[in-house]
Each structure stands twice: as structure tokens, then as C-alpha cells.
Amino acid sequence: MKSVRELIHARSERYMGWYLEACSIPSLAENADGLDEMAEWVESKLVSIGASVERLTHDGAPDVLLGQIGSGDRSVLIYNHYDVQPVDPLDLWNSKPFEPRVSDGVIYARGASDNKGDLVARLAGLQIYQEVFGELPLRIKFLVEGEEENGSRSLAEIVSRHRSKLEADGCIWEGAGTDHVGRPKLTFGVKGLAYVELVCRGLSHDQHSQHAVIVPSPVWHLVEALNTLRTRDGRVQIDGFYDDVVAPTDADLESLEAYPYDEEAERGRLGVDRFINDDSGISLLRRLFYEPTCNIAGIISGFTVPGASKTVLPKEVMAKLDMRLVPNQNPVDIVDKLRRHLDKRGFDDIEINRHQMQHPVRSPNDSPIARAAVAASEDVFGKSSAAGPTNIGTGPMHAIADTLGVPMVSPAGVCRPESNIHAPNERARVEDFLRIIEYTDAWIIAFANIDL
Amino acid sequence: MKSVRELIHARSERYMGWYLEACSIPSLAENADGLDEMAEWVESKLVSIGASVERLTHDGAPDVLLGQIGSGDRSVLIYNHYDVQPVDPLDLWNSKPFEPRVSDGVIYARGASDNKGDLVARLAGLQIYQEVFGELPLRIKFLVEGEEENGSRSLAEIVSRHRSKLEADGCIWEGAGTDHVGRPKLTFGVKGLAYVELVCRGLSHDQHSQHAVIVPSPVWHLVEALNTLRTRDGRVQIDGFYDDVVAPTDADLESLEAYPYDEEAERGRLGVDRFINDDSGISLLRRLFYEPTCNIAGIISGFTVPGASKTVLPKEVMAKLDMRLVPNQNPVDIVDKLRRHLDKRGFDDIEINRHQMQHPVRSPNDSPIARAAVAASEDVFGKSSAAGPTNIGTGPMHAIADTLGVPMVSPAGVCRPESNIHAPNERARVEDFLRIIEYTDAWIIAFANIDL
């Protein structure tokens, strides 16, 4: 791979230019022009590296781009997305989120890590491969959607409609990142997600709180409802929540023994002095990878200016719940269970607004694409990999993994624990970006040559 | 009182002029110039009606004005305040809050009802009395402070320092208003208030919620803590919360039988279809007047944009609690009990920031000043009064009622249920304002002649 590495460094200015261009486009869900501009940018880059590009459209959704390039008897689907997370709270950013800044080898921008870094590195890798070796040895299907941060609501429908074009021998998903000591991370699935808003309404207006002694308070009612959902050590109490959970096998638990996880470093990074239930070791990793959860992502009601003492009986309250699910929980079923759980306990007046619904996925860790991605990462990074069963986060993998039946891997990527994805001052390292270009070529070669 | 009523109508243009002038001065806590201007305005009016005026000063607080006028062997302290509530949210006002507008017999302005209407009507009443009858038959001590809407933080200290000047045979407090069918309202005390902010901090930053499965969540922790504070029917569960509560006597409960309270009209005004515990009748009134409460005035954490689904594990949460207290609960003791209650249940990591601390007051409803105020209201309004034991809200009455031992009454006033005090489009009726001028003279005469 020496020639590849040398060429990447010779071309680094070009590819950093691509990276900065991509990060300067505000491809936010609420900015249709920004999404259009970013789709055009990705399309033009796919065309410039020799791909034929098709737009897979769906009413009301940003176009999904499908770039096809390469030949051979094996096919691989690459998945990325061109949209990014919202930038709020803007005042916590040290520079503007769409004016990328490079300082001390780090690029700061919304999307730098999730996931424009890997997207651009993969585009660059395909170009470099061709410059060094000629035609790509795989039929590559590069799928880039624009609705991922908004729940990929149209992807399942689009994949079903175009399944014959999208079927592949393996799928390279969004990168799983690089761990805190530079080991390549790989996972073979995702947790699912059921994201809902709970809304409780009462009075017609906020009132002087002198009335609180006789008037039912929506915010107290919601606090009481929330309190029925979880024990203090994080066990979810929604009736039937764990019914379909697949317990890890003995082999699964054994493989956790080899998983490198620096608990003290993680606690330091997160700013906490203990994990839930004071967990550690295998018990902690089992919880991390194999347990579902129910999180309060936000709550708001009434008067919230710090330090001031306005006495209000609030007319309503809203809380956001995100439930991360594990195989074989079904997000639609889980929200139905939440509805029944609340109804049964006198909380039928609390509205549930359904937002994201994503199925969990677990793919084998020994499929050809999985083995190719692991082997290539150990070559390029020069370190053993940190392979976990699934990503602890969520992605719209279900449509491809289950609808199409394609084995999945989230390979190494630019994202590090300190990358602040979904948060202010998102960042990635330039050296990681260049390494993922090289890694792209390495897994292409490995997958072209591996025993199926 | 015919001559008084006739003179009020002859002079109505003058007194409406005073009222509009007072309401045009922005005497907000954050506007020192506005407070100064309003203090000067009140001082000049007190001087113009013949009072000698003294300013009672206290470091960092707006001046308290003390106007003295009249003679005789009986003395009465009149309490009002010249500051007003904040005007936010400004965009919900139909006219500017400090450009008073009169339309269809209603005056719209911040302070029109709370409490410049009663303040100006009382000043006018003192002038009218002298014009009709000559010298005032009571030693009147007109105390007007400028810090009421900000918790009257200096009043207790000022009252202690000047107690010999302020002692009186009775106190006429801020008006208790007029009910929805025009009956004069009177009360003989206030509920107390302990207002605190609860803050729970955890992680150093908001994190991607994929970590929620192993990282303790401050917002869940606070929800669990809040849930220990109250039962679903509103009973406060803080250890020892009710220890000092004085239960209503049989006579107290009997007097509630006569209290006019239109439950359906109140539910309609509040926009609710039931009261707590489906209460009604005496049980509802007992709760309203004699029960303390614990209200969540506001709560905020994490991501709160409606409809969007950002997956955050929030680093912290803040909730505002206001606890309305009844005799003999002590706000300082109640917050100490809250602290111990939380500590005992594993919530010692939740901060309590103390804000307003006001003691409850209950004065007898048959003191001479109380009897004079009730009798005069029935004369002037031509309707039986709605006399409740205490105001269901809070005011800084403790300094005068308990420190000085003066019997208190909040007599009839211009405030009606629809007056929008503390809210946009605050208002009062011109006819109520003129009636309170007349009522001022009526209770002066009644108190001068009543058996002590």
C-alpha cells in the first residue's frame, strides 16, 4: 500500500479542499437549499471519479444518490449520508459551524466527523485506487442519503423500490470510528431507536401558581408518568419492554473479554465518576452493547429563567424520550407498549407523538465483508481492532440488512470519542481523514480477494 | 355617603388623570429611573393631599415612602407598592404597557390592577374625605414600597428599624379585589412562599444519548427526586411538611359555607374540566384556603425544540419549585426539611438554590379593622362580601402583622379575576376605580366609629 499512501499525501491538498468544501455546506434538515447544494456537490464528485449517478427520489424527502462504478463478480454497497445534525446551541461553538477551521491538525465544523469525513475519504479512496491500480475490482454501489439525521424516513421505501439495483455481497456502513488510543473500531449492526415526544396539556393558559393547590398540574402528572418508566438503576419498567430481547450467547460474552475499553478514560471524557449501578468489566460492556435503554433527551415546562422567581402554574409540559433498542425489539411495538403502559396507570391523557422509529440490526461478525474490513483495518492502522457486536448508536441499517439481506459492517472511521458528534465544536483529525482514504483502498483490495 | 359619591363623580376627570399618570410610569424592578419617578409621583401626591412624607431608605432598595396625615386616638397603616411586574411577553400585549388606554370603561396598562388602581383610589379617597368632612378622623400611616414584585427583600428590616412610627390599630393591605359577579372580596392574611431552584448536574457536557445505557442521567435523577415530593392527588410528601400546619377550626369551616365560589365559572376561566381529586364544595374551599402546596413552576433540560428528534443525554436539569405555605409553616424550616428529605433518599447531589422566602400570615377576621372593612364594603358595593380567611397568594405581610402585631385586612379592590395581573393586557374597570375611592372613605368612617 506504499504507493497508495504516497499518492494520498501528494494529493492531500486536493482532498482537504474537498473536505472543507463539503463541511462548508449547511446541509441541515431545515435548510432545503443547503441539502440541494450538498446533493449536487456529492453528485459532481461521484461523476468526477467516474461513477454513473442516479437520483432515487421520494416525495418530500431529499434525493438519495446512487453512484455506480467498478466491475467484477463481487458487489459492495457503501452507505453514507450528506445531511448533518442541527447546530444548536450555537453560542457554545468556538467558530462558525459551516466555516470549517483547521488548527493543529484538527478540522472543526458541523459534519466534520458525522459523517462528511468518512464520506469524502471514501470518494477520495475510490479516485486514488483508480489512479494507482486502474479499474475498481468490485461493483461498487455508493448510496448517499440526505435524511439520516431526521430518521431516514424514506429510505426503507426507496430501498424496497430499487432493491435489484442495491443488492450486494456486503455493505460498508458509516464508519464506527477510531478509539481513544487510535485503535480501529468496527461494529456489525446498530441499536434501534424509538423516539417520541410526550405532551401533557392542562389549563388554557399559564396561571398564577396560587391556583396550583386546587388545579391539576400537567407537569406533575408527567413527572409521575415518567417515574413509572424506569427504576433508579436504569431498568426500564414499561410493561413487556424486554419480552423480545435476545440475550447475548456465551460466545458473545466471551468475545467481550477481548474488547478494549478504558473505563477510567471514558469516565474522564464524559465527566462522571461512576457508571450506572457502579458497573465495570464484562458487566458494563454487556450493558453497553446488549441492553436497551430509555433516556430523557429533553424536558421543558413553565418559567425557566435561572435565578428569577416567577410563580407560574404551567399549562403544559413536553418531554422527549429516546429508547435505544436491541435485537429483536421492534420500535413500533415498543411505543404501543408505552401507550398501553401509560393508559393502564391513568396517564391516557398524555399524548405520544412518534418521531424516529428505527429497527435494531445485528449482522454476523464473520461475513466476508466483515472479515475484509477487520483485516484491512489492522493492516492500515498497525493496531489490533476494537470490534464490538453492534454500534451503541442507531442508523437506518434495517432497510439494507434485513430487507435486502446484505451482511453489514461499520468499519473504522474518522470519528473519535472526543469528536463531539451531535454537539458544539464537532471535529476530526486530518491524519485520521487521510488514513481513512488509505483504508478505503485496503478494504476494497481485501474484499476483492477474500474467500466468500 | 351621597355627598362623597357626588363629589367623586364631579372630580372623576382629575382622578382618572392621576390614575393614567401613575400607569404611564415604568416602575419596573430593572428600571431604577422608573422607580425613582414613581416614588416622586407618589410623594408629590401625598404632599398635595396634606400628608407629611418621610423616605425610609435601605441600601440597594427603592425608597419606602411613609405619608402621615390625620389625627385622633386611632391609627391605621395603609400598605401599597409602587413597583409593577415585568411586562414580558411584550408581543402578547394589544397596546403598550406604559401607555395606558381607556376603552369601553376599561383601563389597560401594566399596574392598572396590581396595584396602582387601589393606590391612586386611596390617595383620591383621602382628598375627597377632607373636602367633604374636613380633617381625617384617624392617624393614617400610608406606607408605599417599591420592592414588592421583587420579594420585598428589605421591608422586614425597614419595619423593624421604624417600628414605633409604624405601629397601628389596624392595617389596610393591598386590595383583595372584586369577584366575578361584582361582590367585594376581603381576606385577612396571606399564604407564605418558599421558592427554590433544584439543580442536578452530572456529565461535563451534553452527550450523544447512546451513552445513556451506562451513564447516570441527571434528568432521570431529578424526576425520581421530584416524584418523592408529592402524591398524585397533591398531598406533599416532604418529611414533616405538615407538622406545623394549623388545621381550620369548626368555625373556620362553617364560615366557608357562606363563601361564594362559582366552581363552574372558575373551571371555565382556568380552562380545566376538574379540580384536583375531583374536589368541590367545602372540601374544595378548605383545600384552596387552608392547604399548602408544592408546585413545579418550571423545568428545563436537554433538547427542547418541538418536533425535532435530537438524541441527547443532558448534562444537567433545573426545576423551579414554589411551595405556598399556610400558618404556621416557616419557609426556612420547610426548605431545610426538603434538604433533609432529599438527602435521606439518595438525592444529596441535587442543589437547592433558595429564592423567595415569605411567611404565611393569618389575622383574625373579627378585628375592628376587619369588621370596619367588611361593613363598609357591603354599604358601598350594595352586595354581601366574599370574605376568605387569607389571600391564596403571597405578600410581605409578615413584617407588619407579626413583627408589629397589627391586625390585617386586604379589603375590596379594583382587581377582578379577568384583570390579568402578572400577565399581558392587565386591566381594571373605571367604575371599580371610582367605587374604591368611595370605599376608602367608607372604611375610614367605619373604623373611626367602630367599637374597639
**How close B222 gets to chain A, by Cα (Å)?**
10
Partner residues linked to B68 by β-bridges: B52, B141
Taking the alpha carbons of B199, B203, B204, B208 in that order, is the dihedral positive or negative? negative
- Rounded Cα distance between A22 and A35, Å, is 11
User: Cβ of B421 under 8 Å from any chain A Cβ?
Assistant: yes
Q: With the C-alpha atoms ordered A382, A387, A391, A395, is the resulting torsion angle positive or negative?
A: positive
* Predicted pLDDT at B226: 98
Inform me whether the C-beta atom of residue A60 falls under 8 Å from chain B C-beta atoms: no
Q: How far is A347 from chain B (nearest CA, A)?
A: 11
Please give the grid coordinates belonging to residue A395: 442508523
Q: List all residues of chain B from 375 to 404 with a beta carbon under 8 Å from chain A.
A: 391-394
Chain B residues touching A270 at Cβ < 8 A: 203-204, 207, 211, 215
CA dist., res. A108 & res. A93, Å (int): 10
Tens of pLDDT, residue by residue over B38-65, are 999 999 999 999 999 999 999 989 999 9
Which residue matches cell numbers 403571597? B394
Cell, residue B285:
374551599
Q: Are strands A361-362 and A189-190 parallel, antiparallel or unpaired?
A: antiparallel
Prediction pTM value: 0.91
Q: Say how far apart CA B93 and CA A252 lie, in whole Å.
A: 63
Neighbours of B218 (CB within 10 A): 25
pLDDT tens digits, one per residue of A170-206: 999 999 999 988 999 999 999 999 999 999 999 998 9
**Cα separation of B259 and B282, whole Å?**
9
- Rounded Cα–Cα distance for residues A291 and A245 (Å): 8
Segment B231-255 mean pLDDT: 95
Nearest residue of A to residue B89, measured between CA atoms: A303
Whether residue B406 is predicted with pLDDT greater than 70 in this model: the reply is yes
Q: Is the Cβ of A247 closer than 8 Å to some Cβ of chain B? A: no
Give B-chain residues touching A204 at CB under 8 angstroms. Answer: 270-272
Nearest partner of A118 among A43, A178, A74, judged by Cα: A178
A227 touching chain B per CB within 8 A: yes
Domains, chain A, ordered by start: 2-191+360-449 (3.40.630.10), 192-245+292-358 (3.30.70.360)
DSSP code for B259: -
pLDDT in tens, B124-170: 999 999 999 999 999 999 999 999 988 898 999 999 999 999 999 99
Reported residue count of chain A is: 452
Tell whether B303 is within 8 A of chain A (Cβ).
Answer: yes
Q: What is the phi/psi pair of residue A185, to 5°? A: -100, 140
Q: For B231-248, what is the mean pLDDT?
A: 96
Closest to A172 measured CA to CA, from A81, A82, A79: A79
- pLDDT for A272: 97
Nearest to A210 among B195, B346, B393 (CB): B393
- Please answer yes or no on whether A298 and B293 come within 8 Å at the CB atom: no
Residue of A272, A300, A324 lying closest to B202 (CB–CB)? A272
Which residues on chain A are in Cβ contact (under 8 Å) with B313? 295, 297
Please give, rounded to a whole number of angstroms, the shortest distance from the CA of B321 to a CA of chain A.
9
Distance CA B210, CA A6 (A): 37
Largest CA distance in chain B: 80
- Which residue among B211, B213, B310 places its CB closest to the CB of A86? B310
Say if A268 is an interface residue toward chain B (CB within 8 Å). no
Interface test with A, best of B148, B284, B299, B422 (most A CBs within 10 A): B299
The whole-number average pLDDT for the span A265-270 is 93
Cα distance from B214 to chain A (closest Cα, Å)?
Answer: 5
What pLDDT shows up at residue B1?
63
- pLDDT tens by residue, B301-348: 999 988 877 889 999 999 999 999 999 999 999 999 999 999 999 999
Closest by Cβ to B311, choosing from A207, A275, A297: A297
Cα B84 to the center of its chain, rounded Å = 11
Task: Compute the distance between CA of residue A111 and CA of residue A32 in angstroms, rounded to an integer.
Answer: 17
B275/A214 Cβ within 8 A: yes
The mean pLDDT of chain A is 96
Instruction: State which residue of chain B sits closest to A272, comparing Cα positions.
Output: B203
For residue range B429-441, what is the model confidence (pLDDT) as tens digits? Answer: 999 999 999 999 9
Per-residue pLDDT for B180 more than 80?
Answer: yes
A88: confidence class by pLDDT, cuts 50, 70, 90 = confident
Beta bridge partners of B208: B312
| Span B63-78, average pLDDT | 98
Q: Where are the alpha helices (DSSP H) in B271-366?
A: 281-290, 331-344
Report yes or no: B235 at the A interface, CB cutoff 8 Å: no
